């Protein structure tokens, strides 16, 4: 990126101005006032436009400016400053803007909710429309955007096509949790059949529909046509879960690869995570330093380490053996066949492996119907990527490619074949081994930034009893 390049009618971004050298040319800076400090003859304004963490110091000689103008420039006000860049006498910045002209665009009276002091993240959630103007949420927003770009960049550069799977779905049986129903019915006057049941034939789609809980099944259809695809879009879960790592509306990334077995799946998952981590470290250095200093001490070093070291591999059976050695530490005693609890996941990643770990070959009973059965008849070709601090960040598998085996599995679980006719067609016509995984985007942002609560890494969190703004 060229620092001096002008875009459309925009003046230079503050992140670019800060990299310029002192000189006689006029520079214009626009932004919001973070804080103002007065001295006898000069006034210091820290101006931030959100393009970087630390703002530009604007220095206004009090003799040159109307006192009313300077006094109305308070924290939160929006201003335009024109002047020349000079070498700063202060030690916290290389250059500063010596203002020759300041225009107040919008004042911010004392009722402005953001003070020039630390606020709790809980309070900031109540003013979600203003919180991106804070250091922390601004940094999260920049990192989130950078990570989203890295996601596309990784897949686009590695032979994947971006597929948009539907958000509204008629398949009610994906089994991945409670769904939000979509209807245009007047809920006070719902059409009923003669038997008194809801008459969905009169609803908008002529059948019962919900918001998607996963684009995977539709993703598989495009993977078995374009070879490698990925989805990256919103996902909805109506579960009544109240935790710091669940949302009712979140963004999920789901790659799906044809002619790919579980081994390839694991390799891509690791390379993918490491790529977006490295890309973010490279492009968000200032923000990562901030997170590492104030949000989660050492998170930057952790991400550097994780982006360079191979992940540990372990089968479910091996993982249970390891957990049984320390069973006294757990509320839920581990045994072969049990679900791996959050406490187990974290112990595996944090204590046993001290790094991300990929656990594979889970008992079929605790995994989804579409996962490929191993030859032992008991386990499936599933993999979960567990990371320290968070637990599961990726869940994936090699898909069952055999029609008979898939039909048998669905029968065992009471799934109706007619609901999945098109999914089964993929096994009827040109079936191939294929694999994929799902990554919760917000969880990845949490992991990279060290933010404790998922509601602080998405602009407007939707959760149980929470849909403001």
**Is 97 or 141 the residue whose CB approaches RNA more closely?**
97
Query: By CB under 7 A, is residue 459 in contact with RNA?
Result: no
Interior CA angle at 363 toward 358 and 364, to 5°?
A: 115
| Direct distance between the N- and C-terminal alpha carbons of the chain, in angstroms, rounded to an integer | 35
Query: By CB under 7 A, is residue 436 in contact with RNA?
Result: no
Closest CA relative to residue 334, chosen from 326, 346, 44, 200: 326
Residues 277-296 that bind RNA (CB under 7 A): none
Query: By CB under 7 A, is residue 116 in contact with RNA?
Result: yes
Query: By CB under 7 A, is residue 237 in contact with RNA?
Result: yes
Among positions 125, 133, 144, 434, the unique one binding RNA when judged by CB under 7 A? 125
**Is 241 or 317 the residue whose CB approaches RNA more closely?**
241
**Is 119 or 283 the residue whose CB approaches RNA more closely?**
119
Least distance CB 206 / RNA (angstroms): 29
**Is 1 or 89 the residue whose CB approaches RNA more closely?**
89
- Residue-wise DSSP of 161-221: EE----SEE------SS---EE--S-TTS--B-TTSSB-GGGSTTSS-EEE-S-SHHHHHH
Among positions 137, 394, 401, 445, the unique one binding RNA when judged by CB under 7 A? 394
Residues 70-99 that bind RNA (CB under 7 A): 74-75, 86, 88-93, 96, 98
Cα–Cα distances in Å, from 412 out to 285, 365, 404, 436?
51, 10, 12, 23
**Is 239 or 425 the residue whose CB approaches RNA more closely?**
239
Q: Which stretch binds RNA (CB under 7 A): 42-50, 144-152, 402-410, 415-423?
A: 42-50
Query: By CB under 7 A, is residue 307 in contact with RNA?
Result: no
**Is 222 or 250 the residue whose CB approaches RNA more closely?**
250
Q: Which stretch binds RNA (CB under 7 A): 155-163, 266-274, 351-359, 433-441?
A: 433-441
Residues 250-269 that bind RNA (CB under 7 A): 250, 252
Query: By CB under 7 A, is residue 218 in contact with RNA?
Result: no
**Is 157 or 331 the residue whose CB approaches RNA more closely?**
331
DSSP label at residue 466: B
Report the C-alpha gap between 198 and 217 in whole angstroms: 28
Report the C-alpha gap between 235 and 232 in whole angstroms: 9
**Cβ neighbour number for residue 226 with a 10 Å cutoff:** 14
Residue 25: in which H helix or E strand, if any? strand 23-38
Query: By CB under 7 A, is residue 176 in contact with RNA?
Result: yes
Least distance CB 372 / RNA (angstroms): 17
- Residue-wise DSSP of 53-96: SS-EEEEEEGGGS-HHHHHH--TT-EEEEEEEEEE-SSSS-SEE
Residue 249: in which H helix or E strand, if any? strand 249-258
């Amino acid at each position: 990126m060229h620092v001096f390049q002008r875009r459309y009618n925009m003046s230079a971004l503050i992140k670019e101005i800060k990299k310029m050298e002192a000189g006689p040319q006029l520079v214009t800076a626009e932004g919001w006032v973070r804080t103002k400090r007065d001295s006898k003859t000069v006034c210091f304004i820290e101006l931030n436009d959100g393009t970087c963490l630390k703002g530009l110091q604007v220095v206004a000689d009090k003799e040159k400016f109307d006192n009313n103008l300077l006094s109305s420039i308070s924290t939160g006000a929006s201003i335009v400053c024109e002047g020349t860049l000079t070498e700063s006498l202060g030690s916290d910045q290389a250059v500063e803007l010596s203002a020759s002209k300041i225009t107040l665009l919008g004042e911010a009276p004392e009722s402005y909710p953001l003070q020039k002091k630390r606020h709790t993240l809980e309070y900031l959630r109540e003013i979600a429309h203003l919180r991106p103007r804070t250091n922390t949420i601004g940094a999260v927003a920049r990192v989130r955007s950078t990570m989203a770009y890295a996601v596309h960049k990784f897949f686009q550069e590695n032979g994947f096509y971006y597929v948009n799977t539907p958000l509204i779905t008629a398949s009610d049986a994906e089994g991945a949790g409670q769904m939000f129903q979509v209807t245009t019915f007047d809920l006070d006057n719902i059409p009923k059949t003669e038997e008194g049941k809801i008459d969905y034939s009169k609803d908008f789609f002529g059948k019962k529909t919900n918001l998607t809980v996963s684009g995977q099944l539709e993703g598989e259809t495009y993977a078995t046509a374009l070879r490698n695809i990925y989805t990256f879009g919103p996902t909805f879960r109506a579960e009544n879960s109240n935790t710091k790592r669940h949302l009712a509306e979140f963004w999920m990334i789901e790659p799906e690869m044809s002619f790919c077995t579980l081994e390839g799946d694991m390799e891509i998952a690791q390379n993918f995570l490491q790529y977006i981590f490295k890309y973010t470290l490279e492009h968000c250095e200032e923000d990562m330093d901030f997170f590492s200093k104030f949000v989660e001490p050492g998170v930057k070093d952790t991400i550097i380490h994780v982006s360079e070291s191979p992940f540990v591999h372990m089968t479910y059976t091996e993982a249970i053996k390891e957990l049984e050695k320390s069973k006294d530490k757990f509320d839920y005693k581990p045994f072969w066949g049990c679900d791996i609890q959050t406490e187990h996941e974290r112990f595996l990643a944090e204590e046993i492996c001290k790094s991300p770990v990929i656990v594979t070959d889970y008992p079929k009973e605790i995994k989804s119907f579409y996962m490929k059965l191993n030859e032992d008849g008991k386990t499936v070709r599933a993999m979960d990527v567990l990371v320290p601090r968070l637990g599961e960040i990726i869940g994936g598998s090699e898909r069952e490619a055999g029609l008979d085996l898939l039909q048998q599995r669905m029968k065992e679980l009471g799934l109706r074949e007619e609901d999945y006719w098109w999914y089964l067609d993929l096994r009827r016509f040109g079936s191939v081994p294929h694999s994929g995984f799902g990554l919760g985007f917000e969880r990845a942002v949490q992991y990279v930034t060290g933010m404790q609560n998922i509601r602080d890494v998405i602009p407007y969190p939707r959760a149980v009893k929470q849909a403001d703004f």
